[in-house]
Amino acid sequence: MRFFIIVLCCLFLSSCYETDRDCSDFKTGTFEFEALSGTEVFKTTIIRNDSVEIDFFQGKSDTSTIRWINDCEYVLKKVNPKNQAEKKAILIKILTTDKNKYTFEFSEVGKTKTSKATAKKVK
């Protein structure tokens, strides 16, 4: 019986834990994140204001419009898509925030497969 009460208390206390999400600090600014593809690490720099995001990757830049759903979710749509794949909108959800970093997940709008990454605010 004692064991049951301890387990119940642990479950109760852990259910009160809430991850920090102060997304408003990350709506604008300059950010960097790294992604692993195979054995190679790729670095992307993002400059974002309230309605436009410019991504810099491997010496090229891409501009996307931003439509905010709420403080922690937004949809990106490329301004000048070069092919069918680039015409698809991307949903970004900020999952957690911590000082100058945030963890986010992203997927094509309407798709269930998501990927996660962490970005760092540099300006």
Q: What are the tens digits of pLDDT across the range 1-11?
A: 554 445 444 44
Residue 4 inside a domain? The answer is no
Helix, strand and coil content of the chain, in percent to the nearest 5, comes to 15, 55, 30
Q: What are the tens digits of pLDDT across the range 17-76?
A: 455 678 988 999 999 988 777 788 788 999 999 899 999 988 899 999 999 999 999 999
Residue 7 inside a domain? The answer is no
Q: Which domain holds residue 59?
A: 20-121
List residues bridging with 55 in a β-sheet. Answer: 46, 62
Residue 74 inside a domain? The answer is yes
112 pLDDT more than 80: yes
101-121 burial, b if ≥16 CB within 10 A, otherwise e? Answer: ebbbeeeeeeeeeeeeeebeb
Residue 33 inside a domain? The answer is yes
Total domains in the fold of the chain: 1
The CATH number linked to 46 is 2.40.128.490
Give the mean pLDDT of 108-117.
88
Q: How far is CA 14 from CA 8, 45, 112, in A?
A: 10, 36, 28
The pLDDT of residue 2 is: 54
Q: What are the tens digits of pLDDT across the range 82-103?
A: 898 889 999 999 999 999 999 9
The pLDDT of residue 115 is: 86
**Cα–Cα distance, 115 to 95 (Å, whole number):** 12
Phi, psi (rounded to 5 degrees) for 58 = 50, 45
Residue 3 inside a domain? The answer is no
